[in-house]
Amino acid sequence: MLELLKIKDFRNLWIGQAISRIGDAFYFLGPLFVVKKVFNDDAMVGYVGAVEALPYLLFGTVGGALADRIDRKRIMVWSDLISSLLLFAYLAYLMTMPGSMPRWPFFVFGFLLATVRVFFFPAKNAAIPRLVPPDKLFNANVMSAVTDQFMWLIGNVSMVSMGILAETMGPIPFLKVLIFVNGLTFLLSMLFLTVLPAVVPQREEHHEQHMLTDIREGISYAKRDRVIGLSLLASFGLGLFMSPFFVVYLATNNSWFGGKAPQLAFIETCFIVGMLSMSFIIPHLKIKRAGMAYGVGLTIAGICVLLMGVSKIYAMYCIWNLICGFAIGGVDVPMRTYQQLKVPDEYRGRIMSLGQLIWMSVQPIGMSLGGTLLGLLGIVKMHIFMGTGFAISGAAPMLDKEFRESTIPDKPSTPQGIDGVMEEIAKMPEPVGIYE
């Protein structure tokens, strides 16, 4: 991991990602907290969360197609800059706001900011293979995943601490502080990203065809590659059955464990700690079969969720939750590395965006259905329902031999820049003259 940080370009991307991720956590969680405090409207909390997820469904494929057309560094820099400007515009409105807080800014600014962020992530994931050597890509993805998880955890912990501050200063002043700090995080991230080299997609045609053609070609590519197509279907199941988790945690804590906030926080922390722990271990496992790792990880996670549903002892519930996070922590990185090395550079942005699109688009569906199903099934059956969903999402793709035996390539499918071209030429055998 330390060797990766010696690579200047990757280090700057990693620092920018870390800072930006804290900003994402702040903005996603903070306004929901304020909405609950100001309006005391649970339905509005759900609506605001759904509006923040909607841009991923509407513009996810566009973000991937754009990342395969223009310099990915420029996309990330502009995404951070526009995010910061939107937040400071929001702050300016709050500072001059007449009367009480209306509802519309939570929807409008939430939607606009999420729309801008849609373009950041496919550009980042498509840029990583161009900034590190192929033999270090697996570990680079580990660092990226760990950073996402750890900074989101820091954002959660910070929000708990800042929630105490909100009780003291009031929700609207708290929102102003939150927006100001969040705007600064995006500016800081942008400073590190501006020093990156250009990461222009390696393709013969840039603007000769329509954007919609690019999108269709990206989807067609995913359909042609059985392993990638099945992994995207599995990620749909993962997102669908994972999204109701917090609702189920809340109900389980209230019914089984006394309903205290610290216990609820510890339950959620166990899952995140499990994911983080596996992220540090997975580079040493030298996993080569991406499909097998994906399927086995999800199946084990499903079994753990089933066991959580029959574990009314708090310690056991937390242990199974920890192991569940541990199993899921080993799912993403091998498959992401497989996709980055298998997919030609000209398609990487679109394939990366499809995974993000599927994950984010099912979140509001899973969250809204989760509460309804919980009321119908009860806590135990809801755990069985989610655990079975996890297990089927992991086990079903492994019925396909190609998915089950898919191996992470040793090098990208296309040379990476002039250095890659020279490397490929160097590997060619010496020519033998016919007149020798």
For residue 341, the tally of other CB atoms under 10 A from its CB is 19
- What residue spans define the domains of the chain? 1-195, 215-408
Give the pair of three-digit tokens for residue 151. 């900074």
Q: Which CATH class is domain 1-195?
A: mainly alpha
What torsion do the CA atoms of 280, 285, 290, 291 make, to the nearest 10 degrees? Answer: -110
Q: Taking all residues of the chain, what is their mean pLDDT, rounded to a whole number?
A: 79
Phi, psi of 28 (to 5 degrees): -70, -45
Rounded CA gap, 325 and 334, in Å?
A: 16
Give the pair of three-digit tokens for residue 333. 């990185």
In whole angstroms, what separates CA 119 from the centre of its chain?
13
What per-residue confidence (pLDDT) applies to 215?
Answer: 67
Rounded CA gap, 24 and 154, in Å?
A: 11
Residue 334 has pLDDT above 80, yes or no: yes
Give the confidence band of 436 by pLDDT, cuts at 50, 70, 90.
very low
Rounded CA gap, 45 and 38, in Å?
A: 11
pLDDT digits (tens, 9 = 90+) for 263-289: 777 887 788 788 878 877 877 777 888
Rounded CA gap, 152 and 162, in Å?
A: 15
Across the range 314-337, mean pLDDT stands at: 87
Residue 180 has pLDDT above 80, yes or no: yes
Of 166-175, 230-239, 307-316, minimum mean pLDDT range: 166-175
Instruction: Please indicate whether residue 291 or residue 221 has the higher confidence score (pLDDT).
Output: 291
Confidence (pTM): 0.69
pLDDT digits (tens, 9 = 90+) for 4-13: 888 888 888 8
Across the range 366-386, mean pLDDT stands at: 82
In whole angstroms, what separates CA 262 from the centre of its chain?
26
Residue 393 has pLDDT above 70, yes or no: yes
Nearest to 98 by CA among 208, 196, 190, 172: 172
DSSP 212: H
What torsion do the CA atoms of 79, 85, 91, 94 make, to the nearest 10 degrees? Answer: -100
Rounded CA gap, 247 and 120, in Å?
A: 29
Give the confidence band of 408 by pLDDT, cuts at 50, 70, 90.
confident
Instruction: Please indicate whether residue 6 or residue 323 has the higher confidence score (pLDDT).
Output: 323
Give the confidence band of 322 by pLDDT, cuts at 50, 70, 90.
very high
Rounded CA gap, 259 and 255, in Å?
A: 7
Give the confidence band of 124 by pLDDT, cuts at 50, 70, 90.
confident
Amino acid 71 reads: D
Amino acid 77 reads: V
Across the range 70-87, mean pLDDT stands at: 92
pLDDT digits (tens, 9 = 90+) for 37-75: 788 775 676 677 778 778 877 887 788 778 888 888 999
Give the pair of three-digit tokens for residue 167. 């009780």
Largest CA-CA distance found in the chain, in angstroms, rounded: 92
Domain 215-408 in CATH 2.60.120.620: no
- Domain 1-195 and domain 215-408, same fold? Reply is yes
Give the pair of three-digit tokens for residue 240. 């669908």
Give the confidence band of 99 by pLDDT, cuts at 50, 70, 90.
confident
Three-class HEC string of 33-91: HHHHHHHCCHHHHHHHHHHHHHHHHHHHHHHHHHHCCCCHHHHHHHHHHHHHHHHHHHH
What per-residue confidence (pLDDT) applies to 200?
Answer: 84
What per-residue confidence (pLDDT) applies to 87?
Answer: 93
Partners of 289 in beta bridges: 407
Assess contact for 170 and 43: CB atoms under 8 A.
no
Residue 103 has pLDDT above 90, yes or no: no
Residues counted in the chain: 436
Question: CB under 8 Å to 140, separation ≥6 — which residues?
Answer: 4, 10, 128, 131, 132
Task: Report in angstroms the alpha-carbon separations of 19 from 189, 377, 393.
Answer: 6, 41, 33
Rounded CA gap, 175 and 110, in Å?
A: 13
Q: Give percent of the chain with pLDDT exceeding 70.
A: 80
Nearest to 357 by CA among 245, 247, 222: 222
Residue 324 has pLDDT above 50, yes or no: yes
Phi, psi of 289 (to 5 degrees): -90, 100
Rounded CA gap, 122 and 125, in Å?
A: 5
Residue 162 falls in which region: left (phi positive, over 0), alpha (psi -120 to 50) or beta: alpha
